[in-house]
Amino acid sequence: MWWRSASFILDRNDNPPQPESRHLTPPSSHMADTNPNPNPNPNPINNISAYYQTRAAHHGVVTSDWLAQAQAAVGRDQPSDSDTSLKSSASEKPFSVIEEFNNWRKQPDLAEAVAAIRALASVIRSSEANTIAELQSELKSASDSLKSWDRTSISLTAGCDLFMRYITRTSAFEYEDFNSAKSRFLERAEKFGEISYKARKIIAMLGQDFIFNGCTILVHGFSRVVLEILKTAAESRKVFRVLCTEGRPDRTGLRFANELAKVDVPVKLLIDSAVAYSMDEVDMVFVGADGVVESGGIINMMGTYQIALVAKTMDKPVYVAAESYKFARLYPLDQKDMVPAARPIDFGVPIPSKVEVETSARDYTPPQYLTLLFTDLGVLTPSVVSDELIQLYL
């Protein structure tokens, strides 16, 4: 029935055959000018998720596909109009959210959402508004421009939304004079930034309790939270072993294994297709998340869903480590029901232009395949996510 299903139609719509053939291995001549644009402001049209560009830049994974991507960005992207408009607005105003955001974003340890939160806080700080309404609308437009900077990043959108909810959720504003209200805004903003910044540490403390001596942990993708948990566990002298998936296409697993080897944790690398093969020696699965959705499921790097399925079949617990600013008011019903985030894939050989390539960068894991979520709000079952979201947003 596949030809009748909507997903097929969607596939056809979403993947217009690209004109150039998919020689995704870049010619070496381009190696020189692959200075990745310091301020990439990708259009959603050009099929490359900015979220993954940021991650790649942070992780220093300069692989051939990354180069291809950068090349594509240089070649195909005429300097996008939204970028220039932002620039012009920045020249009028002394302050631009995006610049601030980019400044924060350069810190490799800082998550994108935290950078956004910090940037929004500095919007308040440098605001010249005279009324609360003005300040709020200024914040709103700032967060909107941040969100439109990258629509594929769930945590960025969710972080901005949560920030807006968090700082505007006091009813006492009407009764105060503007300055004290503004300082309260700022106070709350900084507090929120602080909470978000510390989230990883809290999760690490909560999560490491679940690691027992002698256990084997399967890890998929490069999640800084998961790394933090494992590091914390290793520091508290727990003896455990980690299996890392390779994490195609950007090979995040290699880097993860590298990081773990630095702290003397025994690591074994698997190719992505060996998950089911080695699942019987695994005691638990740890994954991060790009976003936690309202159903309690997660959106994460491609491959998480199949690992969760295999783990569920073999009765192994699947633990998700995610900061609460990744909680998003989304509710995907199936895999295609998401904002598409594409990422080029390097197959190493030329691929005929007639052949389609699935370039989606992430998948959705429904809540019934997850055991627990480690968040800075505590260790939650998937169904609590919705409770928290309802309480935050209603």
Partner 1 sequence: MDHRRAPRTVIDPKVRHVGFFTPPDRSQSVPLPPSSTSSPPLSNLSPSGTSLSPVMIPPPRHTSDLITVPDGFAPTRLLSPLQRFSGESVIPVGSYNPSEFASPSVGDFFEEKNPRSPGPRRSRGGGGGGSGKVASSLPAGGFEMPVEVKPKSLTTVSVVSSLRPNVTDKVGEQSIESQDGSGANSKQPLKEKTSKAERRALQEAQRAAKAAAKGGNGVVNMKTGKVNNVQKKDNASVAATFEKRVVDHKDKDRKKDVPHPRMQFDDATRVEKAKKRAIVKQTEVRNRVELFRHLPQYEHGTKLPHLEYKFFHLNSNSVHPAVYKVGLRYLAGDISGGNARCIAMLQAFQESIMEYSAPPEKALNRDLTAKINSYVSFLIECRPLSISMGNAIKFVKTRIANLPLTLSESEAKANLLSEINNFINEKIILADKVIVRHAVTKVRDGDVLLTYGSSSAVEMIFLHAHELGKRFRVVIVDSRPKLEGRLLLRRLVGRGISCTYVHINATSYIMHEVTRVFLGASSVLANGTVYSRVGTACVAMVANACGVPVIVCCEAYKFHERVQLDSICCNELGDPDAISKVRGRDEVNHLKDIADNENLQLLNLTYDVTPSDYVSMIITDYGMIPPTSVPVIVREFRKEQIWSS
Q: Is 354 in the site for partner 1 (CB under 8 A)?
A: no
Please provide the DSSP assignment of 71-86 as one string: HHHHHH----HHHHHH
Using CB under 8 A as the binding rule, the residues of this chain from 121 to 140 that contact partner 1 are: none
CB of 112 to partner 1, least distance (A): 25
Q: Is 337 in the site for partner 1 (CB under 8 A)?
A: yes
- Smaller CB separation from partner 1, 81 or 337: 337
- Smaller CB separation from partner 1, 3 or 175: 3
Binding letters toward partner 1, positions 11-40, x by CB under 8 A? --x---------------------------
42, 239, 47: which is closest to 230 by C-alpha? Answer: 239
How many residues bind partner 1 (CB under 8 A)? The answer is 26
242, 346, 243, 329: which is closest to 293 by C-alpha? Answer: 329
Handedness of CA 202, 205, 207, 209 (dihedral sign): negative
- Smaller CB separation from partner 1, 8 or 212: 8
263, 258, 219, 256: which is closest to 237 by C-alpha? Answer: 263
Q: Which two tokens stand for residue 175?
A: 């009764």
- Smaller CB separation from partner 1, 2 or 175: 2
Q: Is 331 in the site for partner 1 (CB under 8 A)?
A: yes
CB of 333 to partner 1, least distance (A): 4
Distance CA 362, CA 292 (A): 13
Q: Is 212 in the site for partner 1 (CB under 8 A)?
A: no
Q: Edge-to-edge strands of the sheet including 372-375?
A: 267-270, 240-245, 215-220, 284-287, 318-321, 372-375, 378-380
Q: Where are the beta strands (DSSP E) in 43-123?
A: none
Task: Out of 109, 194, 334, 356, name the contact with partner 1 by CB under 8 A.
Answer: 334
Distance CA 205, CA 214 (A): 19
Distance CA 276, CA 259 (A): 24
- Smaller CB separation from partner 1, 76 or 312: 312
CB of 126 to partner 1, least distance (A): 34
**Of 49-57, 117-125, 162-170, 288-296, which part binds partner 1 (CB under 8 A)?**
288-296
Binding letters toward partner 1, positions 42-71, x by CB under 8 A? ------------------------------
Handedness of CA 71, 77, 82, 83 (dihedral sign): positive
**Of 85-93, 171-179, 239-247, 327-335, which part binds partner 1 (CB under 8 A)?**
327-335
Dihedral angle, C-alpha 345, 349, 352, 358, nearest 10 °: -20
Task: Out of 21, 333, 350, 356, name the contact with partner 1 by CB under 8 A.
Answer: 333
Handedness of CA 373, 378, 383, 389 (dihedral sign): negative
- Smaller CB separation from partner 1, 5 or 236: 5
Q: Which helix (H) or strand (E) holds 189?
A: helix 178-208
Phi, psi of 83 (to 5 degrees): -60, -50
Distance CA 368, CA 245 (A): 22
- Smaller CB separation from partner 1, 187 or 387: 387
**Of 7-15, 46-54, 256-264, 344-352, which part binds partner 1 (CB under 8 A)?**
7-15
Binding letters toward partner 1, positions 289-308, x by CB under 8 A? -----xxx------------
Binding site for partner 1 (CB under 8 A): 1, 4-10, 13, 294-296, 329, 331, 333-334, 336-337, 367, 383, 386-387, 390-391, 393-394
